[in-house]
Amino acid sequence: MSRLWSPGIAALTPYVPGEQPKIVNLNKLNTNENPWGPSPRALEAIRSATSDALRLYPDPSAEQLRDTIARYHGLAREQVFVGNGSDEVLAFAFFALLRQSLPLLFPDITYSFYPVYCGLFGIQATRVPLTDAMEIRVEDYRQPCGAIIIANPNAPTGVGLPLGAIRTLLEDHPEQVVVVDEAYVDFGADSAVGLVNDYDNLLVVHTLSKSRSLAGLRVGFALGQAPLIDALERVKNSFNSYPLGRLAQAGAIAAFEDEEHFQRTRREIMETRAGLVERLTALGFQVLPSVANFVFARHRAQDGAKLAAGLRERGIIVRHFARPRIDQYLRITVGTQAQCVALTDALVTLLGA
Ligand SMILES: *Cc1c(COP(=O)(O)O)cnc(C)c1O
């Protein structure tokens, strides 16, 4: 806090990202990074782009990348917005589309960046409780609101919402923007991308950080009808003309051109997840049904915070949220088979099983 700050800065509650420890050799299962690494083609494209051309600004409208994404998803360039990670894309969406006079609706348990953006942009929010089964019930959103945002699958629960429910949400609120944050959709949930041409109030947000293993490159994008994308462009061009550098644009384009790597690695994670769920269940955990690259689990007898601390002492980091309703849960990223076995082995010791 300083007398030199602008008004309101002291009152902000910034997002706290999962720890990025400096210690090597930790089994890092806390931030949903992908253990399989990016496509070699993406790395090669980034290396090729590392040249004297870096003295030049990148394409401010990232046309080639937007064309690549548009083609991949069967849309037009005007229906694609790209940004510096989907967190930035979400920030622009909050400012350009979700900042209305009526409150924004989102689940009580969801991605914790949503309330942070509300604080930053002065957006009033109403949190809609998940059911006891930790599911989104779209009927609960039938109330006056300015806009809606949900994550599908939800974070940190990993629970998916069927496409029919998303259709209902869109049809219940034709005058409101509905943002569906699909950061983890490639690990088994139903994507709403196919609905973009049917609903002018739908914006779908994706990231290359999870299923394409490029968290360090910072590329995310939004898909929607042209007027929604235009609003995002207006905000972006009032903030930073070049959120994506040359290396990010080159790497992201190449990542979409390696379908084989994408399919193989996401399948690997879904298979590893099934084995992890089985072993956690056998150890006395209650595991929510996950369609993400993480599982959300609580032990029937042992305290969540204590388990997280015990794992840490054994060099394994998972995420624990000291928040109402979820403080007994651990969010565990699906790593390699070996990482997951190391985790369950450590739990066997901790639980004295
Ligand atoms: C990881 C994540 C994001 C942000 O991803 P970026 O790395 O900023 O692209 C957005 N939404 C959810 C729900 C996430 O878990």
For ligand 1, pick from 30, 81, 207, 331 the residue to mutate: most ligand atoms within 8 Å of CB: 207
> 207 CA distance to ligand 1 centroid (A)?
6
Beta bridge partners of 270: none
Q: Given this model, what pLDDT does residue 294 score?
A: 98
Instruction: Tell me the backbone φ, ψ of residue 317, rounded to 5 degrees.
Output: -105, 125
Report d(CA 175, CA 66) in Å as an integer.
27
Report d(CA 95, CA 231) in Å as an integer.
9
Q: Given this model, what pLDDT does residue 353 score?
A: 62
CB distance 181 to ligand 1 below 6 Å: yes
Per-residue pLDDT of the chain (353 residues; tens, 9 = 90+): 899 999 999 999 999 888 888 877 889 999 999 999 999 999 999 999 999 999 999 999 999 999 999 999 999 999 999 999 999 999 999 999 999 999 999 999 999 999 999 999 999 999 999 999 999 999 999 999 999 999 999 999 999 999 999 999 999 999 999 999 999 999 999 999 999 999 999 999 999 999 999 999 999 999 999 999 999 999 999 999 999 999 999 999 999 999 999 999 999 999 999 999 999 999 999 999 999 999 999 999 999 999 999 999 999 999 999 999 999 999 999 999 999 999 999 999 999 86
Fold of 2-37+260-352: Aspartate Aminotransferase, domain 1 (3.90.1150)
> 181 CA distance to ligand 1 centroid (A)?
8
Q: Which of 343, 351, 212 is nearest to 269 (CA)?
A: 212
Fold of 40-258: Aspartate Aminotransferase; domain 2 (3.40.640)
Q: Which of 104, 112, 111 is nearest to 128 (CA)?
A: 104
CB distance 249 to ligand 1 below 6 Å: no
Instruction: Tell me the backbone φ, ψ of residue 315, rounded to 5 degrees.
Output: 80, 20
Q: Given this model, what pLDDT does residue 195 score?
A: 98
CB distance 106 to ligand 1 below 6 Å: no
All CATH 3.90.1150.10 domain ranges of the chain, comma separated, are 2-37+260-352
CA 67 to chain centre: 23
Give all strands (DSSP E) within the chain, no chain letters: 27-28, 80-83, 104-107, 125-128, 147-151, 177-181, 202-207, 220-224, 285-287, 294-299, 316-317, 329-333
